[in-house]
Structures are given as C-alpha cells and as structure tokens.
Amino acid sequence: LHALSLSTGLFFSSSRLRGDSGRERERGKGRRGSCSCSTGMAKEGVEEALLLASRATDGGRDEGLGLGVRDEVKKQLWLAGPLIAGALLQNLIQMISVMYVGHLGELALAGASMASSFATVTGFSLLLGMASALDTLCGQAYGARQYHLLGVYKQRAMVILTLVSIPLAVVWFYTGEILLLFGQDPDIAAEAGTYARWMIPAIFAYGLLQCHVRFLQTQNIVFPVMASAGAAAAFHLLVCWLLVYVAGMGSKGAALSNAISYWVYVIVLAVYVRVSGSCKETWTGFSTEAFRDVLSFFRLAVPSALMVCLEMWSFELIVLLSGLLPNPKLETSVLSISLNTAAFVWMIPFGLGSAISTRVSNELGAGRPDAARLAVRVVVFLAMAEGLVMGLVLICIRYVWGHAYSDVEEVVTYVAWMMLIISVSNFFDGIQCVLSGVARGCGWQKIGAWINLGAYYIVGIPSAYLIAFVLQVGGTVHQMINK
C-alpha cells in the first residue's frame, strides 16, 4: 500500500513536472544564467522541481537522453554500490558497541539496546531526515552548475542541525527518567540512562556527518564516503575494546566510543573536502550566505524529517505491540530478529534510493526532466529485480537463518515462517524506498510525508493491531506452527 501510494503521488506530481518544465523552457529562451537555486526556490516553492534556467538554452531535453538504459544502469549501480557498503559500515559502529556490551551481562545489554533504540527514535532519525533536504538542494545545484551553492547549503545545514542537536541532547540526558515514566524496569531504565548520557557527544557529530555525506554524494563522490566509513568502523573496533576492557569503563566506554568514532568519521570527511581537488569548486570556504534564507531550508528539512521519522517510529510501535501478545518473550525476540534481518536486507534498496535521489536531482537541476524520468524507470526495474533475488535468497536460507540468533528450536521454526513474510515485504519495501529517493530528488518531501503518515499510521499500525489482537492471529502463523 505504501509503494502504491508513493507511485500514485509521484505520478501526478510528475505530470505537474512535465508542465512546469515546458513553461521553464519557454521562460529560459534567450536568457542564460538568469536565476540561482535560491531564487528558484523562493519563487516556485520547495515542493516544485528546481528546473533552473541556467541550462534552459539546451532546449530542456537531454539530447537523445544522453544516457541509454544500459549506461543508466551502470551509473546507478556505480553510485549505489559504495553507498550500500558505506551505510552498512556506518551502522556497524553502534552494532559493535552493543556486541561488546553484551559480554558484560544481561542488564548491560538490555540497557545498551534500549538506549540505542531510544537514541534512534529521538535523535538520529530526526537529524538523518533533516539532512536529507540536502539531497534536493545540493543535488539540483550541482546539476545546474551552481557549484558554490553546495558549500553554502552544507554550511547552513551544519549550523541548523547543530542547534537542533542541543535540545535533543537534553532529552538524552534525561533518558532514564523518561523511560521510567513509560513504565520500564527501573534497573534497565537506569542503565539505559547512563549509556545515553555518555553517548551525547555522538549526536553533534552525527548531524555534521550526514551533512558531509550528502554534500559528497550529490556530487557523485561516493568511494571516499565508503572508505571513510570503513576506516571509522575499523577504528571503532579498537577504541571500543580499549575503553570497555582496558580502561575498565564498561558500557559507558562503549557509549563514549560511539561518539569518538563518529567524530573521527566527520574529521576524515572534512579533511577530504578541504584538500581534495574534487571539491575545489563546491567548497570555497565559510560564507555568511549560510545564515541567510534559513526558512527555505526548513521548508524541505521538516517534511524530510517527517518522512524518515514516521517510518522509523512505526517499527518501534510494532515492537511495543508485540510485547502485549501472548508469550511476549518469544514474540518480541522473533520480531527483533525479523526486523534486524529486514533492516540488513533493506540496505540494498536504501543504496539504490540514495543513488536515484542524486541522479534525479542532478538531472532536474540541469533542466533535463526526460533523463530524470529514464533514471526513475531504471531504478524501479532494479528495485524489483533486487526484491525478487533477495526474496528467493531469504526463502532458501529460512530454515538455517534462525540458528544464527538462537539455539531454541521454537524460535528457529518461528523465524523460518517470518522469513517468508520478510521476502514479500522486502519486495515492496524496496520499491517504496527508491520512490522515496525520487521524491527527495524532486523536492517532494511534503508529499512523501503525507503518504508515510497514511501508509504507516492510518493503514499499517491499525492493520497490525487488527490482525494480531482482533483476529487473534498473533505475531504471525504461530498457531499453525504449533499444530
């Protein structure tokens, strides 16, 4: 339903884009370089594609689409591959910390897991979503050859995300008290509160990190991002071990190591931007322009954040609902395994979504809507192919995958049934993921936010409650397994 809603919304929006691009070509005839990205945003609105007149003398078309289907496939895979690897390596930082803490005892593990989940919901997801506004701004500015604006947009985002991180840090400081208000176990809440407090420096680094990643990604500079993520993950293995075991800080050391590793990641990317010849046109130093037209950034950043947060929060609600089912220990454990598996597989369409966001924003910024539409057709085909292949893989390994998490036969059998559901879910989730990337590339985050609200909270969560509690199916077909 989510994928269908996105498809419908983007179809009508693309129809509007065709009309807008035709009018833009008429306005652009005879005037070259007469407007900038920021002016276009102010006049057309942030939800419109920024088809800049600086490239309109090319006729607004792509001269035979420039890139054929085969070349477009190569281009997207070349972008998506490093982005997938980089996302996996970046996620390893928090996973490694939790793994180290897991060897300290059940209480430490429960506290770290709860704190990590709380941090994702109340901090990381919000910053990730707000930084996604740069997918539109930087991507279209780069396509329009307004190179200096990329540096301005990045600085503006860095300032705003740093300011937003301050109240989020206050929330993290009182994590333990907040969890107690929601009825969590006092010991686990206290452990989670301590872990979250030591992780506070990480939230400031995370916002800056997302700004740098998108600044480079929208310029098609993806291999340095992947290499930096790998270096940060390798460094994290060492620093986490030193703080947890050598320094004897325990779970507090694991939390602090997150912050240190994120800051190392940021510094490496910042140095690359400063010294690399690839960024000499897009990064021209600090500018006071970053403090102007802040509202235009918020017009994209707020719906971008809603797109991400509404999706992430819905999965957290599902986990909470699973705890109300009969045999909640089993249901919650299996659902946790299932969501971890789904999140791991989701990294592939996530990379494709990031790639198509860059491709669409670059082509629209250059005034080539036909090339952007070709890129969309290609990425939908790639997402469907990926969904079919990964679905078959999940089905083939369903009887052995559960053993990676548990030796309890009931859990393993339950996970095998859930893998069938995940294989179908991943197919449609991949399509919606790449369509979300298209929305970001076009600047249609507001449309995406409304669709996410309807898909997850008007359809998804009520359906989960209906199936699990009213129809009494449970978490899945567990009753059939018992029979």
Q: Global pTM?
A: 0.79
- List, in sequence order, every beta strand (DSSP E) within 59-116: none
- Total count of residues recorded for the chain: 483
Predicted pLDDT of residue 236: 93
Residue 16 placed within a domain: no
The per-residue pLDDT for range 300-355, each reduced to its tens digit, is 889 889 988 888 888 878 777 776 777 766 776 677 778 778 888 888 888 898 88
211 falls within a domain: yes
Q: Which pLDDT score is estimated for 370?
A: 87
Contacts for 338 with CB less than 8 Å, ≥ 6 apart: 415, 418, 419, 421, 422
State the average pLDDT over residues 75-92: 86
pLDDT in tens, 203-252: 999 999 999 999 999 898 989 999 999 999 999 999 999 998 888 888 89
pLDDT at position 332: 67
Residue found by looking up tokens 């929601």 in the block: 182
Give just the sign of the alpha carbon dihedral 154, 156, 162, 165: negative
Q: 122 is in which domain, residue-wise?
A: 69-482
For 152-180, the pLDDT digits (tens) are: 999 999 999 999 999 999 999 999 999 88
Give me the pLDDT at residue 291, please.
82
Instruction: Decide if 38 is inside a domain.
Output: no
More confident residue, 23 or 406: 406
Quick check: is 280 in a domain?
yes
Proportion of the chain above pLDDT 90, given as a percent = 26
Among 104-118, 348-362, 467-481, top mean pLDDT goes to 348-362
Q: 2 in a domain, yes or no?
A: no
Tokens of 386: 């990926």
CA distance 483 to 478: 9
- Cβ neighbours, 10 Å, residue 396: 12
145, with CB counted inside 10 A (0-12, 13-18, 19+), is middle
Percent of the chain with pLDDT over 70: 82
Residue 59 lies in a domain: no
Output the DSSP codes for 427-481.
HHHHHHHHHHHHHHHHT-HHHHHHHHIIIIIIIIHHHHHIIIIIS---SSSHHHH
Average pLDDT value for the chain? 80
**155-181 burial: b if 16+ Cβ within 10 Å, else e:** bbbbebbeebbeebbebbeebbebbbe
Q: What is the torsion angle, in degrees rounded to the nearest 10, for the CA atoms of residue 388, residue 369, residue 131 and residue 48?
A: -120
For residue 22, tell me if it sits in a domain.
no
pLDDT beyond 50 at 62: no
The contacts of residue 428 (CB under 8 Å, 6+ apart) are 2, 3, 387
Report how many domains make up the chain: 1
Give the pLDDT confidence score for residue 208 in this predicted structure. Answer: 94
Q: What pLDDT is attached to residue 479? A: 53
- pLDDT mean over 148-153: 90
Does residue 80 fall inside a structural domain?
Answer: yes
Give the pLDDT confidence score for residue 44 in this predicted structure: 42
